[in-house]
Amino acid sequence: MNERTASTSDLPASAGDYGFETREGMPASLAERPILDHGFIRLVDFMGGDTAVVQAARVSFGQGSKGEAKDKKLIHFLMKNHHETPFEMAIFKFHVRTPIFVARQWFRHRWSSFNEISGRYTELAYEFYLPERVRRQLAKNYQFEESFDDAENARLREKLSQHFQESYRLYAELLEKGVAKEEARIVLPLSLYTEFYWGVNARALMNFLRLRAEVHAQFEIRVYAEAALEVFREKMPWTCEAFETYVLPKPPADKPA
């Protein structure tokens, strides 16, 4: 066991190195986009693009590109009329660090491929999501307001922080006593950060964005969806333009964009 875990009173501030690829020397388009307090999303790999969609759509007629203007018009036609199969020809691979409760929502998008760090084989790092503002529940599950005053918000955040510390101390103690990693992890809360790779084609990505970049989605997953939308816009500008025109829900007039 490493020195950090053996000392249950000396809790680390951030996650250790799990051997994931880092952004060192990576092109700007592949850089991490910081999310929440310790999370990120970054593009690891990409195949295809707008031209791949056009090629797939026109193969039915034995044709290819007809120039930028006509190709872009075709993509808008496909999106508007729900001819979605050609969009499956573009593939994204993301690396994500997010709280476990966000990942559990994310993994419901089953038309994707996921591979997550394992708490059975890896000692999990002390890294928890602590919201800046604790939300108060309203009548409907997806409605809330940031109505706690500053003093109460600070008190609640301190209680959350203490809970995270105590749960990790117990986890570290169990490991120190020889308890198996797969059992010791059961004391850790859903706010713990996890990491995974996400492989998704453009059609499935748009379905994710349609649901998770929408105003009723939980804030903590919506900010990841908004970052993924930025990547999508960079890599497939014609497709993203059509998606935002015909598919992506517009925020209500009384809601911020």
The alpha carbon of residue 223 and the mean position of all alpha carbons in its chain are separated, in whole angstroms, by 8
- Please state, in angstroms and as integers, the Cα–Cα distance from residue 94 to each residue in 78, 112, 212, following that order: 25, 11, 16
**Closest by CA position to 195, among listed 8, 7, 38:** 38
The Cα–Cα gap between 212 and 73 comes to: 27
- Please state, in angstroms and as integers, the Cα–Cα distance from residue 120 to each residue in 1, 117, 126, 175, 240, following that order: 15, 9, 16, 12, 39
Give the list of residues 6+ apart from residue 254 with CB closer than 8 angstroms, or none: none
The Cα–Cα gap between 92 and 231 comes to: 10
In the annotation, is 212 catalytic?
yes
**Closest by CA position to 5, among listed 207, 177, 195, 173:** 173
Three-class DSSP category at 195 = strand
Task: Match 């993924």 to its residue by tokens.
Answer: 228
Query: Which residue of the set 108, 212, 222, 233 is catalytic?
Result: 212
Active site residues: 212
